[in-house]
Structure 1
Amino acid sequence: MQKIVLASGNRKKVAELTQLLAQFQLQVIPQTDLNVEDVPETGTTFVENAIIKARHAAEVTGLPAIADDSGIEVDYLDGQPGIYSARFSGKHGDDQANNELLLEKLQGVPSEQRTARYQCVLVFMQHAKDPTPLICQGAWEGRIMTEEVGEGGFGYDPLFWSEEHQCSAAQLEPEQKAAISHRGKALQELMQKLSESIA
């Protein structure tokens, strides 16, 4: 099996990608296992940040790399928090503080104006100097609720209302979420592109 580095230490992402990419004889290794430090995300778009992360991981390890950059866009807030979703409240990865700040900014805003979507961009690079990385994107439309509901998922999931299932993203089973989520859609596109490039 060919090894491929995932530009993340997120075990949930590693498990998900490992399972999906096994059919392509690709073994996913998180960058933390290879002593790759996080790289500053200096891009202004999800695409730029995903490329920065994939290139850095490929450069340090000499392996092909996959990176994702994702976040939530709220229409009422002109697309915020967007690429700053994980550090919306000022501290990286503090889901509770991020959710509280989002609720605060949407206080009193009626339901029909609380439309939002999760975005995910996945990038696959053969090597650090790959001039044509595979870029895949997925979006998941929904709405921001007025309070947190559900114990599953992570990030803004307890606040994200899914029309398809009439519940919050945090109330979905992992399999249900993977089938309709932004990351699930981007992964499906990546699998399609990998199939074509390997065929």
Structure 2
Amino acid sequence: MSRLLPRGSRLVIATHNDGKLREFRELLAPFGFELVSAGELGLPEPDETGTTFAENARIKAEAAATASGLPALADDSGIAVQALWGAPGIFSARWAGPSKDFAAAMQRIEVDLQGRGATNRSAAFIAALSLMWPDGHEEAIEGSVVGNVVWPPRGTLGFGYDPVFLPEGHDRTFGEMSAEEKHGVDWERRSGLSHRARAFLALAERCFREAPAR
């Protein structure tokens, strides 16, 4: 049975990624939680030893919930390119290296595609969310959005691989979209564009059942 997280609860955002933290703060703003990040609490980053997005999200959420004694929300996400057999997938962040050089990571995707002579540039952004309580109860959700890899990168908004991802049905990359366009949730229509927005919408309907503040 789903567990509710009441308005006013203190919630740890289990990430040290500033871009993800910013998106989570914006998504969670209407629900009245008291938010604190893993970085602000000085929590270490656990080793992501899972083989799926869901497993890695669970590892991060469990580590933060156990260390803080508070509910924790974690995300593991990345881009999966069809012609590269789903790479970089769960290794999306690692392709950018310790310096978080996503320009080099995007270049690597393009070089690999050209090296294979790939004409299929289909890709998907995938996000797995894990909401974990200190007693081990977990609520897990996945969301995705399909599109194509474009080259050269377009736009300076967003973060990570956003500048090379063109979502299906749109003429601008995630890197050319505002934060609201990309991951904003339309609560009346129950819709969102990005992988993280779609996963968050499903999680909110399950665990944050109070209507968001207007």
TM-score normalised to structure 1 length? 0.90
Of residues 83, 107, 112, the one that matches 2:90 is 83
Aligned to 2:15: 8
Aligned to 2:187: none
Task: Give the 3 Å change call, closer, same or farther, for CA 188–174 of structure 1 in structure 2.
Answer: same
Contact 2:16–2:45, Cα closer than 8 Å, also in 1? no
Of residues 160, 178, 181, the one that matches 1:176 is 181
Contact 1:6–1:30, Cα closer than 8 Å, also in 2? yes
Contact 2:19–2:159, Cα closer than 8 Å, also in 1? no
Partner amino acid for 1:68?
D
- Within-5 A mapping of 1:1-199: 1-91=8-98, 93-107=100-114, 109-111=117-119, 113-127=120-134, 129-130=136-137, 133-178=138-183, 179-196=192-209
Contact 2:80–2:87, Cα closer than 8 Å, also in 1? yes
How far the C-alpha of 1:169 sits from its partner, in A, is 1.3
Task: Give the 3 Å change call, closer, same or farther, for CA 48–174 of structure 1 in structure 2.
Answer: same
Structure with greater proportional helix content: 1
User: Could you report, residue by residue, the CA deviation over 1:25-84 in whole angstroms, capped at 9, with x for unpaired residues?
Assistant: 421210111110111100010011000000000111111100000001011011110000
- Secondary structure of the residue that 1:106 maps to in structure 2? helix
- Secondary structure of the residue that 2:39 maps to in structure 1? helix
Partners of 2:86 and 2:99 lie apart in 1 by: 19
Contact 1:76–1:114, Cα closer than 8 Å, also in 2? yes
C-alpha RMSD of matched pairs (Å): 2.0
How far the C-alpha of 1:139 sits from its partner, in A, is 0.4
How far the C-alpha of 1:162 sits from its partner, in A, is 2.1
Partners of 1:89 and 1:61 lie apart in 2 by: 29
Aligned residues: 195
Higher relative contact order (CA 8 A, sep 6+): 2
Partners of 1:29 and 1:41 lie apart in 2 by: 21
**Any gaps of 5 or more consecutive residues in structure 2?**
1-7, 184-191
Partners of 1:18 and 1:190 lie apart in 2 by: 15
How far the C-alpha of 1:158 sits from its partner, in A, is 1.1
**Any gaps of 5 or more consecutive residues in structure 1?**
none
TM-score normalised to structure 2 length? 0.84
